Structure formats: structure tokens, C-alpha cells
Amino acid sequence: MKKCTVQDIFKGVEFTPAEIKIVESKFEELFPKKGDILLRPDHFVYDQYFVFDGCLRSYFISQTGKEYTLQFAVNDWWISDYTAFFTGEKSIFYVDCIADAVIYKISKESMELLYKEVPQIESFFRIKMERFFGSYQKRILSELELTAEEKYLKFIKNYPEIEKYIRKYHMASYLGITTESLSRVRNDLEKKNSIP
């Protein structure tokens, strides 16, 4: 596997050689294994993670024990409990590794330093956050109006390689449907020969 570079993390951003060294000094490379938990509820959140390879997910467990997957993060995605990260509150969900991964961790303190030392980083993150919250809002609306089949097809379009990493119940909990409903949707689509 090729080595991750600053340009891999910050695609489209131009850096001088000196800026690259500054950025590299702020990230820590980690190699979590499948099953490792990076973040737990009721803990303060000091870091966010860039996924270079593998798959992470964030999820919430309700008081009744039901699991809700909030996000998958595959190659080139970022993940954290952003509400806790930005507000200083404790996390309300988990982030775990569902496939062996190579990730890069950066703390909030290091991010703030980068904003000052390499100003184009702040613009990059602002655009990322705008897109993230826009897509999150669209997901909430889709939960209200899309059928189970439409949710599944949209999911496969957004995460084309995800099925090699995740179990059926991960996908069902993300889509807000039961595993039985997911199986029915897949069977119906197979009959129509329309699974992507």
C-alpha cells in the first residue's frame, strides 16, 4: 500500500515544502484493528480521524439497547463525534473499527494551530463541514420520505465499496430498517436484476 501524504488528506490544497512539514507534525498515524473502539459515550472528544484505508463507523445505542449507525467512514472520509469535538461536551456515541484500517488522528488543539500556521487548512475544513452538514440534513429528510428500497439504492450509490467491509445489521441500522426488511429489499432487487 502506498504511503499517505499530506496531499492525500487535503486534496486540492497547495502547500509549500515547509507547510507540508508543519502539517505532518500535527498528525499521528494509527493502525486500528477490526473491533477496536476509538471513542465511547461519556468521554471527552479531543480528536478527529482521517481514514486512509479501511472502514470506521459511528453508532449510538439507545436506552432500550437498539443500535443506530450514524456514519460509515471509508477511504478519504473523516469521522468523530463532531458535536462533542467542537463544543467540549462528552460524546454520546461510539466510533469503532469494522475493518483493519490506517487512519490519521489530529487533535482540536493541533487543528487550531494549523489554522494559524497554514491558513488554507481552515478553508478546507470549513468547506468539508458545510458539505457534511448539508449531506446530514439530506439524510434526515430521506429518512422521512424514502422507501426502504430507495434508501438502500441511495446507500449503495454513496458507499459503492462498503459491502465488503460491513455486516448486514450495520447497513440495516444505518438505513433505519430491520435486517429482515433489508433482506426483502435485496431479494426484490435481485429478482428485478437491479442491484448495482
Checking if the pLDDT of 194 tops 70, the result is: no
- The one-letter code for the residue type at 185 is V
Q: What is the mean pLDDT of residues 147-162?
A: 85
Residues 19 and 79 in one domain: yes
Is position 72 within any domain? yes
Q: What is the mean pLDDT of residues 130-144?
A: 71
Q: How many domains does the chain have?
A: 2
pLDDT of residue 98: 94
Is position 136 within any domain? no
Predicted model pTM: 0.85
Pick from 35-39, 68-72, 136-140: least confident: 136-140
Is position 140 within any domain? no
Residues 177 and 86 in one domain: no
Residues 6+ apart with CB under 8 A from 16: none
Residue 167 C-alpha cell reads as: 455486516
Q: With contact defined as beta carbons under 8 Å apart, do 78 and 51 qualify? A: yes
Residues 110 and 186 in one domain: no
Return the CATH number at 84. Answer: 2.60.120.10
Residues 151 and 193 in one domain: yes
Residues 64 and 100 in one domain: yes
pLDDT of residue 164: 82
pLDDT of residue 196: 54
Q: What is the pLDDT of residues 82-121, one digit of tens each?
A: 889 989 999 999 999 999 999 999 999 999 999 999 999 9
Task: Select from 77, 88, 52, 92 the least CA-distant residue to 131.
Answer: 77
Q: For residue 60, how many other CB atoms are within 10 A of its CB?
A: 16
Is position 138 within any domain? no
Checking if the pLDDT of 195 tops 70, the result is: no
Is position 76 within any domain? yes
Please give the residue that has the higher pLDDT: either 41 or 154: 41
Beta bridge partners of 31: none
Q: What is the mean pLDDT of residues 8-25?
A: 94
Is position 141 within any domain? no
56: domain range?
A: 6-128
pLDDT of residue 58: 94
Residues 72 and 100 in one domain: yes
Distance CA 145, CA 141 (A): 7
Residues 20 and 102 in one domain: yes
Residues 119 and 150 in one domain: no
Residues 120 and 86 in one domain: yes
Give me the percent of the chain exceeding a pLDDT of 90. Answer: 55
Residues 25 and 92 in one domain: yes
pLDDT of residue 190: 84
Is position 139 within any domain? no
Is position 32 within any domain? yes
Q: Which residues of 112-143 are buried (b: 16+ CB within 10 A; e: fewer)?
A: ebbeeebeebeebbeeeeeeeeeeeeebeeee
pLDDT of residue 166: 87
Q: What is the pLDDT of residues 53-88, one digit of tens each?
A: 999 999 999 889 888 898 899 888 999 998 899 899
